Amino acid sequence: MSSIIQLLPDHVANQIAAGEVVQRPASVVKELLENAIDAGASDIKLICKEAGKVLVQVIDNGKGMSVTDARLCFERHATSKIRQAEDLFDLHTKGFRGEALASIAAIAHVEMKTKQDQEELGTHIIIEGSKFVSQDVAVLPKGTSFLVKNLFFNIPARRNFLKSDIVELRHIIDEFQRVALAHHNIHFTFYHNGSELFNLPQSNARQRIVNIFSGKTNEKLVPIQETTDIVSIQGFIGKPEFAKKNKGEQFFFVNDRFIKSGYLHHAIMNAYEGLLRDGSQPSYFLYLNVPPHTIDINIHPTKTEIKFDDEQALYAILRSAAKHSLGQFNVAPVLDFERDFNLDTPYSYQNKEAETPTIQVDSNFNPFQEEKKQSNFSYKPKTENLPHWESLYVGLDTKSMDIGEMSFESETVTSSLFSDSEVEKAPTKTYQIHKKYIVNPIKSGMLIIDQQRAHQRILYEQFLTNITIHQANSQQLLFPITLYFSGNEIALIQVIQQSLESTGFVFEAINKDSIVISGLPVTVSESEASIVLEQLVSDLQDEVPDSSFSQMDSMAKSMARSLAVKTGTYLTEEAQVNLVNNLFACKEATVSPFNKTTFITLSVEDLDKKFSI
């Protein structure tokens, strides 16, 4: 039989290897940034267009390459970073596998310009799908510039597999931040579609964190430091009260390389035991240094998972360092049961009678007043939703609690119940109990409505309608308001800008660390603007939804959550009635946007049963 095995041509082998190294534009960003760092650059610029799908460019002022190296660097397994197998166990560079550039050149259009400091002229190479197109001598500044265009141009399946720009940009920002956090002594700038997203000057580790995650981060962190023979730990961990429900800011760096480790994460969570609200996640920025020969980085092509020689010892040291740091900075609550509580009260007050606090309630206060002014927030239930109502609201008139002689069950009478004047009069008496529930008698018994969830439902549907039909009303602000955000929060706001505008936000400017708003959705008051946007950014930080519809859905949910009247808020009777009316005008009155029950009914039979003994 004839033999059938062949060696794959290089360009095919490179394409296959590329599958491992380059999953998405963010992988290119990571590889190019790491090469620039390995080249000793002190200034690195990242430029992307359309979330890296159209262009990723990295410009560095590092050591550059000779003419020969410039040609060789695109070969597979071509590296200047290791020479022999033993070097794998004493790594001081980010790269060492020599496959990134070969992989990238196999699946994109690449243009490289590079010049070494001591040389007069540099080299300019164009390579497309592993084929050298041109090589010229050129006048260039010191360093290297890689321009990667049309990623996956020759693998349509991979290109189609890419997510929306929002998602891909998020991945790029993640990679950029990881590299920038690990190298605070390098100046990084990042431009996306022509606007500057980050400009991070050389600084210390803490300033770098603050520059990336906003000034507010500073007060939320406590330092951590520990040096032992097997590891030295430095960095910052978040005070427990600032722990968040999403996992955003958790970083481990080992020898300046970002790594993922469920095991080390567990060590940190263990140190926080008893200090966190259920399910909340602390921030941490931990820089570990270990002797290079005690780790194996070569277990994963993207090098984000590594193997430690003595993982258990590392776990113990990390946990105790974190505990120590939380204790030292007095963030752990001290539960001292032996304390004499009398000492807590100043002596002269000790035997004083407690005064009953007087509470002044403004009976005219109506939390729904704002909404009442809006034309698009009608108190009149929409007629198409009447079927929801009928069964619940049969016989609701205050004067006609005894409805023996009046039947509301017929169509005609029911609809007259909802005429403007009838609704104005309010269908029935409502009661608020515990500033939480609205109780409403109905013919068959009573309704008990959760005020917060009900209001969330109302606002959610209202926002969603406004956003999807682009009919949102804006209120123009007399004086534009400026809100401050961190670089990556701004980047996020930019990607959802259009959806935000369709809810009624008007942006006058979006700057590097602030936004200027000149118009707000009618449902959002000036004082609520920052709360709504901050909540929104934090809700979307983990994963910005892919499709624009689910993006709008997430926004409507987030805004409904921020703006809904909370448990513990007193509602006037008018507000209560409006709430009930608006709830039953909703398409899905029974559940909140977060799938929680908005109301329950208690029938007369239920009550009878309870009284049967």
Please give the residue ranges that form the binding site for Mg ion (CB under 5 A): 35, 95, 100
- In whole angstroms, what is the distance from residue 485 CA to residue 490 CA? 6
80 binds, among ligand ADP, Mg ion, none (CB under 5 to 8 A by kind): ligand ADP
Pair 456, 561: CB distance under 8 Å: yes
DSSP string, 314-366: HHHHHHHHHHHHHHHTT-SPP--TT--GGGGS-GGGTTPPPPPPP----TT--
Report the residue number, 302 or 369, with the smaller CB distance to Mg ion.
302
Q: Assess 301 for contact with ligand ADP (CB under 6 A).
A: no
Given 62, 235, 521, 545, the residue binding ligand ADP (CB under 6 A) = 62
Nearest to Mg ion of 100, 536 (CB atom): 100
Work out whether 39 is an interface residue with ligand ADP (CB under 6 A).
Answer: yes
- Cβ closest to ligand ADP, residue 176 vs residue 272: 176
- The region of 91-99, 148-156, 181-189, 546-554 touching ligand ADP under the rule CB under 6 A is 91-99
The C-alpha atoms of residue 358 and residue 319 are separated, in whole angstroms, by 48
- What helix, strand, coil percent values describe the chain, rounded to 5? 40, 20, 40
Per-residue b/e over 195-227, b at no fewer than 16 CB within 10 Å? eebbebeeeebbebbbbbbbeebeebbbebebe
Residue 438 is a binding residue for ligand ADP (CB under 6 A): no
- Which is closer to Mg ion, CB of 100 or CB of 151? 100
Which of Mg ion, ligand ADP, none interacts with 96 (beta carbon under 5 to 8 A by kind)? ligand ADP
Binding of ligand ADP by 18 (CB under 6 A): no
Task: Give how many residues touch ligand ADP by CB under 6 A.
Answer: 23
> With binding defined as CB under 6 A, does residue 36 bind ligand ADP?
yes
Pick one of 27, 144, 430, 576: the residue that binds ligand ADP (CB under 6 A): 144
The pair of three-digit structure tokens given for residue 324, joined into one six-digit string: 């120590």
47 binds ligand ADP per the rule CB under 6 A: no
Map residue 213 onto helix, strand or coil. helix
Instruction: Tell me: does residue 125 bind ligand ADP (CB under 6 A).
Output: no
342 burial (CB, 10 Å; 0-12 / 13-18 / 19+) is exposed
Measured from the CB of residue 210, what is the shortest distance to ligand ADP in angstroms? Answer: 28
Given a contact cutoff of 8 angstroms between Cβ atoms, the answer to whether 397 and 604 are in contact is no
Which listed residue (13, 78, 275, 403) binds ligand ADP by CB under 6 A? 78
Residue with smaller CB distance to Mg ion, 82 or 394: 82
User: 14, 96, 544, 563: which one contacts ligand ADP (CB under 6 A)?
Assistant: 96
Cβ 64 to ligand ADP shortest distance, Å: 6
Closest residue (Cβ) to ligand ADP?
95
Given candidates 61, 79, 177, 440, which one binds ligand ADP under the rule CB under 6 A?
A: 79
Query: Helices marked H in 400-480 — which ranges?
Result: 411-417, 420-424, 451-468
Q: Indicate which single residue of 80, 164, 518, 525 sits in contact with ligand ADP (rule: CB under 6 A).
A: 80
> How far apart are alpha carbons 135 and 145 in whole angstroms?
15
Under the binding rule (CB under 6 A), the answer on residue 81 touching ligand ADP is: yes
**Which residues are within 8 A (CB) of 30 and not within 5 positions of it... i.e. 6 or more apart?**
175, 178, 179, 302
- Looking at the DSSP assignment, which residues form a beta bridge with residue 448? 439, 600
Choose the one of Mg ion, ligand ADP, none that binds residue 73, judging by a C-beta under 5 to 8 angstroms depending on kind. Answer: ligand ADP
**Residues facing residue 259 across a β-bridge:** 252
Distance CA 219, CA 208 (A): 14
CB 276 within 8 Å of CB 244: no
Per partner kind, with CB cut-offs from 5 to 8 A, the member of ligand ADP, Mg ion, none near residue 521 is none
Number of H helices and number of E strands within the chain? 20, 22
Stretch that binds ligand ADP, among 56-64, 265-273, 376-384, 604-612 (CB under 6 A): 56-64
Q: How far is residue 49's CA from residue 150's CA, in Å, rounded to a whole number? A: 10
The answer to the question of residue 65 lying near ligand ADP (CB under 6 A) is yes
| Binding positions for ligand ADP, rule: CB under 6 A | 31, 35-36, 39, 60, 62-65, 73, 78-81, 95-102, 144
